[in-house]
Amino acid sequence: MLDKNVVELLNAQVNKEFYSAYLYLDFSNYYYDQGLDGFGNWYRIQAQEERDHAMLFVQYLQNNGERAELETVDKPGVELTSAKAVLEEGLKHEQYVTSLIHNIYDAAYSVKDFRTMQFLDWFVKEQGEEETNAEGLVKKFELFGDDPKSLYMLDNELGARVYSAPSLVL
């Protein structure tokens, strides 16, 4: 049986992950509107990943005899002012999600919930990758974003990204 506080945090994370999917879908729409289809593709796939993360938390709760409590998913409230600003918001959001995962991990650790800690290990690693990718996008945009030919090449690079479901086994 899972600790009540840990269950509350896991349930909150379900909804945070669905919010992340909404946010990244909003980013994707912004880029498609700007004619940057590769950037749009990259964030559409990112939205799919976040939805899958939410479903992994739902499955974990269910596998442990807990009910996943779904809340209303807020509309993204980020003002999308430029292509670079969107990337910077993406990095800030990934850093925020990392803090949420660490908070759940800390709560599980405090009650010696090793099963939940083991489950969260994958997310800790994943968040490291997510922050690295987001930071890399910002850096690449800073290097190439002002040059139309380079931006075109970066957009093509991001357009080549394909969806791959997470490989976490519960």
Cα dist from 49 to 42, 106, 130, 141, 162, whole Å: 11, 24, 11, 22, 11
* Model confidence pLDDT, tens digit, residues 115-149: 999 999 999 999 999 999 999 999 999 999 889 99
* Model confidence pLDDT, tens digit, residues 69-85: 999 999 998 999 999 99
* Model confidence pLDDT, tens digit, residues 53-68: 999 999 999 999 999 9
pLDDT for 168 equals: 67
pLDDT for 169 equals: 62
pLDDT for 165 equals: 81
Please give the span between the terminal C-alpha atoms of the chain, in angstroms, as a whole number. 16
Per the prediction, the chain carries an average pLDDT of 95
Q: Which CATH class is domain 4-159?
A: mainly alpha
pLDDT for 127 equals: 97
pLDDT for 145 equals: 85
CB 101 within 8 A of CB 39: no
Cα dist from 107 to 13, 112, 124, 141, 170, whole Å: 13, 9, 14, 37, 20
* Model confidence pLDDT, tens digit, residues 100-111: 999 999 999 999
The percent of residues in the chain predicted with pLDDT above 70, rounded, is 98
